[in-house]
């Protein structure tokens, strides 16, 4: 088997640029050509946007294309597709599903969202009650989902629904790809403490999903969903970042430029958080090295837990550092952003938005359980409902 090297990838990038000049080629056409050249995600298989190369070599491609000022696929806008849907489709999808969904997902022509959480099944996701009933070659889905980021702009959704209520809650769940434009799908905004509505609640009323859009076996949805959830936590908390990237860089920059704001107590707290942020960044580098060797494990939960704690502590310090200025909130108008922006706008926004970091992508309480059981090997919490049919559980 031929091993792809960094030089091989540079040559492929040069060939792509020679044939598709970024300055004169339509953006979507360029991204499609990049995908077809295997330069989208180099660790994916040939024909699916990759070359079967080591994951770490993606940085070589990205750097070469950035130097050429080539367009990217706007990852913040399509993060759910890239970080959650794509790895799940790659692992569990049929060949037909992979070829249908992965290319427009990566180019950003089709945006994805995630229909997992429900009003009565958030931290206890396996208690979900959205029903999918088989009807010939289709499944008829009825239920309600909540906290759905980007549902208002999504074309497709990854969805888990209960297909057998007679089985215990972790069984009898099946995983689907749902067309967000299908009849019976209704998206309603959920206004947040920031004043915007990047989240939604989604009502599904007899939505028909073809069996061809099922991922994995019937009743095996919980196992399929674990791939999505592990990748989600890495996507939220394990992204590559330079030293002083993220919120800690914003606060450190303010500290350097505004000496009149400094106090000994704030100085001590900033130093401690700077060290914590750097430790978290370096741990993320190690996690990405592990990812290069295989699928993400429970370590991603630790990264996401640290991300939430740090963002909340750093944004709180920033508000205190700025004093009255930190209490200003420049914009309180209802709008529907296309991206989730953890660090944008002003200090007041960052402080409020960070409150959601310990809820989205798995609550910090649940992540602590995962770390204690799957990383530290501590005994599991007692669970009395594991062998009881879902239909018999109290709700």
Name the strand (E) or helix (H) holding 175.
Answer: strand 173-179
Q: How far, in Å, CA of 19 to CA of 36, rounded?
A: 13
Q: Residues near 274 by Cβ (< 8 Å), separated by ≥ 6?
A: 244, 248, 252
Contact 390, 165 (CB under 8 A): yes
Instruction: Report H helices in the chain.
Output: 6-19, 27-36, 58-67, 79-80, 86-92, 95-107, 221-237, 247-257, 264-291, 299-322, 347-353, 364-370
From the list 110, 118, 232, 299, the catalytic residue is 232
Cβ neighbors of 369 (< 8 A, separation 6 or more) are 381
Known catalytic residue: 232? yes
d(CA 165, CA 139): 15
Which residues touch 361 (CB under 8 Å, ≥6 apart)? 232, 233, 235, 236, 237, 304
φ and ψ of 203, to 5 deg: -105, 130
Sign of dihedral through CA atoms 270, 272, 274, 280? negative
CA–CA separation, 200 and 190 (whole Å): 5
- The answer for residues whose C-beta is within 8 angstroms of residue 305's C-beta and 6 or more apart is 237, 364, 367, 368, 371
Long-range contact set of residues 267-270: C-beta below 8 Å, sequence gap at least 24: 269/317, 270/317, 270/321
CA atoms of 95 and 171, how far apart (whole Å): 25
Report, as residue numbers or ranges, the catalytic residues. 232
């Amino acid at each position: 088997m031929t091993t792809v090297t960094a030089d091989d990838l540079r040559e492929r990038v040069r060939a792509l640029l020679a044939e598709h000049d970024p300055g004169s080629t339509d953006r979507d056409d360029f991204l499609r050509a990049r995908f077809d050249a295997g330069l989208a995600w180099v660790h994916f298989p040939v024909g699916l946007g990759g070359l079967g190369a080591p994951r770490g070599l993606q940085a070589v491609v990205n750097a070469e294309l950035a130097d050429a000022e080539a367009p990217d696929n706007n990852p913040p806008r399509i993060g759910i597709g890239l970080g959650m849907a794509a790895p799940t489709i790659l692992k569990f999808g049929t060949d037909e599903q992979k070829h249908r969904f992965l290319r427009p997902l990566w180019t950003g022509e089709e945006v994805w969202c995630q229909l997992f959480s429900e009003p009565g099944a958030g931290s206890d996701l396996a208690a979900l009650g959205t029903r999918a009933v088989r009807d010939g070659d289709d499944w008829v889905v009825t239920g309600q989902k909540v906290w759905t980021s980007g549902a208002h702009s999504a074309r497709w959704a990854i969805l888990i629904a209960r297909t057998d209520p007679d089985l215990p809650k972790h069984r009898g769940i099946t995983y689907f790809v749902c067309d967000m434009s299908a009849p019976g799908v209704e998206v309603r905004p959920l206004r947040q403490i920031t004043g915007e509505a990047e989240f939604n609640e989604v009502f599904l009323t007899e939505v028909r999903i073809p069996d061809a859009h099922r991922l994995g076996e019937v009743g095996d949805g919980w196992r399929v969903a674990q791939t999505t959830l592990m990748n989600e936590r890495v996507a939220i908390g394990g992204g590559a970042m330079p030293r002083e990237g993220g919120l800690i860089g914003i606060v450190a920059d303010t500290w350097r430029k505004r000496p009149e704001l400094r106090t000994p107590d704030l100085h001590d707290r900033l130093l401690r958080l700077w060290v914590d942020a750097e430790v978290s960044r370096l741990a993320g580098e190690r996690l990405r090295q592990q990812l290069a060797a295989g699928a993400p494990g429970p370590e991603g939960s630790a990264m996401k837990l640290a991300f939430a704690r740090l963002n909340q502590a750093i944004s709180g310090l920033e508000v205190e550092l700025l004093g009255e200025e930190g209490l200003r909130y420049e914009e309180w108008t209802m709008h529907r952003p296309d991206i989730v922006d953890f660090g944008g706008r002003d200090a007041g926004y960052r402080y409020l938005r960070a409150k959601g970091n310990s809820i989205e992508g798995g609550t910090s309480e649940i992540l602590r359980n995962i770390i204690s059981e799957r990383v530290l090997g501590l005994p599991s919490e007692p669970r009395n409902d594991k062998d009881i049919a879902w239909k018999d559980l109290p709700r």
